[in-house]
């Protein structure tokens, strides 16, 4: 493709507005369409407000702000996106809604137009197959809030032309983002590897071996900005459970991804996290974190009291499960080891990439931790990735330069 000058954005919600903002700031012309009355106008108002605040903070000049605003153009009709070289879809996460949107974009876009989806969890190939041009359909997964998050997962489907992935990686760079390429498989890179962080924490909680506060403190103690339960409260316990369920189902019930009952319980109770003032923790009106929801753990983890594990054991368990998941993503050819480590650090602010971290603490020690867990709960959730075992056995590295 020649230079990308104009992008189209379909859906002017949280993500569509963020994508439009960064594209306009990067000097691209942006056409935005949303069929819901008033949605595009509200998005443009919000973007204007964000840009004005950047001027106040000295991050943008008045002139840069004015020209970014001038590059944003609302379109009342979908056909108005036709002039774009790339159209990025950011409509709600519903497969039929997205397939319908792509069917219509296919009819509207020029023959060379690339159609990108910002889906977090749906297979790109299923969206692409709604069009007559699956070779020009790709995933372009931004993270929230778009202006602040550096990562974009570029997700070619099995039918996407290689040149399209190159064009989208280039576009991501134009927007000031770091692209990493991921296979079109459940959870892509970030949502898949991050499952391990939440799930092992929930399993520890459910077993009664440690409580919410101890687990969060342990993980903060080794450099995670938020513990797994604090993070789930930021993401939304409902959103987090839905993402986890989609990955579990996407892998046909693989035990490694089975959601925990505590996740269901907290969401079913309407404790959806910070947005409802209560999740795993209670929150004051000013957002200050209060104590944990004490009704949660005893109800599901009650019964005979089991031995408590200390911070070092909590850390070792959660890290081992994360490393196993990251290695399994390499083995499944989801992405390169470098891409996985970059993605996890940029999207989650983890102190170290999971693979480099695993090699630093020692893959043999990771395997030993997993073997002990697998012996105590032999239902497949702790099955060791064969590649991890092989690397540990021969003292190898995933990173070519080190092996």
Ligand X SMILES: NC(=O)c1ccc[n+]([C@@H]2O[C@H](COP(=O)([O-])OP(=O)(O)OC[C@H]3O[C@@H](n4cnc5c(N)ncnc54)[C@H](O)[C@@H]3O)[C@@H](O)[C@H]2O)c1
Is 79 assigned a catalytic role?
A: no
Residue 381: CB atoms within 10 A of its CB come to: 17
Active site residue: 153, 230, 315, 325, which one? Answer: 153
Q: Which of 159, 187, 335 is nearest to 251 (CA)?
A: 187
Q: Is 167 in the site for ligand X (CB under 6 A)?
A: no
Is 2 assigned a catalytic role?
A: no
Q: Is 93 in the site for ligand X (CB under 6 A)?
A: yes
Q: Which of 294, 263, 267 is nearest to 197 (CA)?
A: 263
Closer to ligand X by CB, 34 or 211: give it: 34
Is 33 assigned a catalytic role?
A: no
Is 191 assigned a catalytic role?
A: yes
Region for residue 32 given its phi and psi (left: phi exceeds 0; alpha: psi -120 to 50; beta: otherwise): beta
Q: Is 76 in the site for ligand X (CB under 6 A)?
A: no
Q: Which residues contact 21 (CB under 8 A, 6 or more apart)?
A: 47, 50, 51, 68, 146, 147
Distance (Å, rounded) from C-alpha 179 to C-alpha 154? 6
Residue 277: CB atoms within 10 A of its CB come to: 15
Q: Which of 20, 90, 202, 323 binds ligand X (CB under 6 A)?
A: 90
Q: Is 112 in the site for ligand X (CB under 6 A)?
A: no
Residue nearest to ligand X (CB): 13
Q: Hey, is 137 helix, strand or coil?
A: strand
Distance (Å, rounded) from C-alpha 381 to C-alpha 368? 15
Distance of closest approach, residue 100 Cβ to ligand X, in angstroms:
7
Q: Is 299 in the site for ligand X (CB under 6 A)?
A: no
Distance of closest approach, residue 63 Cβ to ligand X, in angstroms:
29
Region for residue 208 given its phi and psi (left: phi exceeds 0; alpha: psi -120 to 50; beta: otherwise): left
Q: Is 179 in the site for ligand X (CB under 6 A)?
A: no
Q: Is 64 in the site for ligand X (CB under 6 A)?
A: no
Q: Scanning residues 188 to 227, which ones bind ligand X (CB under 6 A)?
A: none
Q: Is 263 in the site for ligand X (CB under 6 A)?
A: no
What backbone torsions phi and psi does residue 72 show, to the nearest 5 degrees?
-95, 125
Active site residue: 118, 182, 191, 328, which one? Answer: 191
For residue 73, the cross-strand partners are 31
Q: Is 119 in the site for ligand X (CB under 6 A)?
A: yes
Distance (Å, rounded) from C-alpha 282 to C-alpha 277? 6
Q: Is 120 in the site for ligand X (CB under 6 A)?
A: yes
Residues found in the chain = 403
Closer to ligand X by CB, 350 or 382: give it: 350
Interface mask (CB under 6 A) for ligand X, residues 124-163, using x and -?
------------------xxx-------------------
Distance of closest approach, residue 47 Cβ to ligand X, in angstroms:
13
- Strand pairing report for 86-89 and 72-74: unpaired
Q: Is 238 in the site for ligand X (CB under 6 A)?
A: no
- Helix (H) or strand (E) holding 6, with range, is strand 6-10
Closer to ligand X by CB, 97 or 163: give it: 97
What number of chain residues touch ligand X (CB under 6 A)? 23
Instruction: Give the single-character DSSP code of 383.
Output: P
Q: Is 12 in the site for ligand X (CB under 6 A)?
A: yes
Active site residue: 118, 120, 185, 240, which one? Answer: 120
For residue 331, the cross-strand partners are none
Q: Which of 91, 202, 209, 334 binds ligand X (CB under 6 A)?
A: 91
- Segment near ligand X (CB under 6 A), from 11-19, 158-166, 295-303, 331-339? 11-19
Q: Are 29 and 4 in contact (CB under 8 A)?
A: no
- Segment near ligand X (CB under 6 A), from 35-43, 155-163, 293-301, 345-353? 35-43
Q: Is 75 in the site for ligand X (CB under 6 A)?
A: no
What backbone torsions phi and psi does residue 364 show, to the nearest 5 degrees?
-65, -40
Q: Is 11 in the site for ligand X (CB under 6 A)?
A: yes
Rg (CA), the chain: 22
The residues of the shown chain that bind ligand X, judged by CB under 6 A, are 10-16, 34-36, 39, 90-93, 97, 101, 118-120, 142-144
Among all residues, which ones are annotated catalytic? 120, 141, 153, 191
């Amino acid at each position: 493709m020649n230079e990308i000058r104009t992008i189209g954005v379909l859906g002017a919600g949280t993500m569509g507005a963020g994508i439009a903002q960064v594209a306009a700031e990067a000097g691209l012309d942006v056409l935005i369409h949303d069929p819901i009355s008033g949605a595009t106008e509200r998005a443009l108002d919000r973007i204007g407000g964000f840009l004005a605040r950047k001027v106040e903070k000295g991050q943008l000049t008045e002139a840069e702000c004015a020209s970014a605003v001038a590059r944003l153009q609302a379109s009342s009709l979908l056909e108005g996106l036709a002039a774009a070289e790339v159209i990025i879809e950011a409509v709600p996460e519903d497969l039929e809604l997205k397939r319908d949107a792509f069917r219509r974009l296919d009819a509207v876009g020029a023959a060379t137009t690339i159609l990108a989806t910002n889906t977090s969890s749906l297979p790109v190939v299923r969206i692409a197959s709604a069009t007559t041009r699956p070779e020009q359909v790709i995933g372009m997964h931004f993270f929230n809030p778009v202006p602040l998050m550096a990562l974009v997962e570029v997700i070619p489907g099995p039918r996407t032309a290689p040149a399209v992935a190159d064009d989208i990686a280039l576009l991501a760079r134009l927007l000031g983002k770091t692209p990493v390429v991921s296979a079109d498989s459940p959870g892509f890179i970030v949502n898949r590897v991050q499952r391990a962080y939440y799930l092992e924490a929930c399993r520890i909680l459910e077993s009664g071996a440690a409580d919410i506060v101890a687990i969060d403190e342990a993980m903060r103690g080794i450099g995670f900005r938020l513990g797994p339960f604090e993070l789930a409260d930021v993401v939304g316990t409902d959103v987090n459970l839905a993402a986890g369920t989609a990955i579990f189902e996407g892998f046909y019930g693989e035990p490694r991804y089975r959601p925990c009952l505590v996740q269901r319980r907290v969401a079913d109770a309407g404790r959806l996290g910070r947005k409802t003032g209560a999740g795993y923790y209670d929150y004051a009106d000013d957002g200050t974190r209060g104590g944990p929801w004490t009704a949660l753990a005893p109800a599901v983890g009650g019964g005979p009291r089991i031995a408590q594990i200390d911070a070092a054991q909590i850390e070792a368990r959660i890290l081992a499960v994360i490393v196993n998941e990251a290695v399994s993503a390499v083995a499944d050819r989801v992405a390169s080891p470098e891409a996985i480590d970059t993605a996890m650090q940029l999207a989650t602010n983890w102190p170290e990439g999971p693979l480099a971290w695993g090699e630093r603490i020692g893959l043999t020690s990771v395997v030993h931790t997993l073997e002990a867990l697998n012996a105590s709960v032999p239902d497949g959730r702790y099955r060791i990735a064969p590649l991890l075992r092989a690397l540990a056995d021969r003292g190898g590295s995933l990173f070519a330069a080190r092996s």
